[in-house]
Amino acid sequence: EAGVAQSPRYKIIEKRQSVAFWCNPISGHATLYWYQQILGQGPKLLIQFQNNGVVDDSQLPKDRFSAERLKGVDSTLKIQPAKLEDSAVYLCASSLDSGGYNEQFFGPGTRLTVL
């Protein structure tokens, strides 16, 4: 079974530029998560989708971050404009569902460096 795919793996941009990350979850997984992992810290949830609807985006900086999950499959996370403090690894995870506990499977992440 294929795992969670993410691209690109690495991205370097200058502040005030925009950037987008892509995630393809495991086939059949209804729930998709985006986490931000700053160096030396644990991952922090940015947004959670159930199919193509948003379940939780309370920690998403909506003035600069946006995410969508069209057709309930792939998802993109965008930052516009980027700030220095956005340098982090962006992790995508998926699970069968969000009810009870369903194991979350993580992708390899996209490492963003903002100069």
Partner 1 sequence: GNSVTQMEGPVTLSEEAFLTINCTYTATGYPSLFWYVQYPGEGLQLLLKATKADDKGSNKGFEATYRKETTSFHLEKGSVQVSDSAVYFCALSKETSGSRLTFGEGTQLTVNP
Give the CA distances from residue 83 to residues 20, 72, 79, 104, 113, in Å, rounded to whole numbers and listed in that order.
Answer: 14, 29, 9, 29, 10
Considering the complex, state which of residue 54 and residue 115 has its C-beta at the smaller distance from partner 1: 54
Considering the complex, state which of residue 4 and residue 82 has its C-beta at the smaller distance from partner 1: 4
Specify which residues 7 forms β-bridges with: 22
Contact region with partner 1 (CB under 8 A), list: 21-29, 35-43, 60-68, 72-80: 35-43
Cα 23 from Cα 46, distance rounded (Å): 14
Number of residues that bind partner 1 (CB under 8 A): 29
Contacts to partner 1 from residues 70-99, by CB under 8 A: 91, 93, 95, 98-99
Q: Where are the alpha helices (DSSP H) in 48-107?
A: none
Residue from 24, 48, 94, 110 binding partner 1 (CB under 8 A): 48
The distance of closest approach from Cβ of residue 82 to partner 1 in the complex, given in angstroms and rounded to an integer, is 23
Give the CA distances from residue 39 to residues 42, 43, 88, in Å, rounded to whole numbers and listed in that order.
Answer: 8, 9, 6
Residue from 2, 27, 28, 40 binding partner 1 (CB under 8 A): 40
44 binds partner 1 (CB under 8 A): yes
Nearby residues of 1 by Cβ (< 8 Å), 6 or more positions away: 26, 27
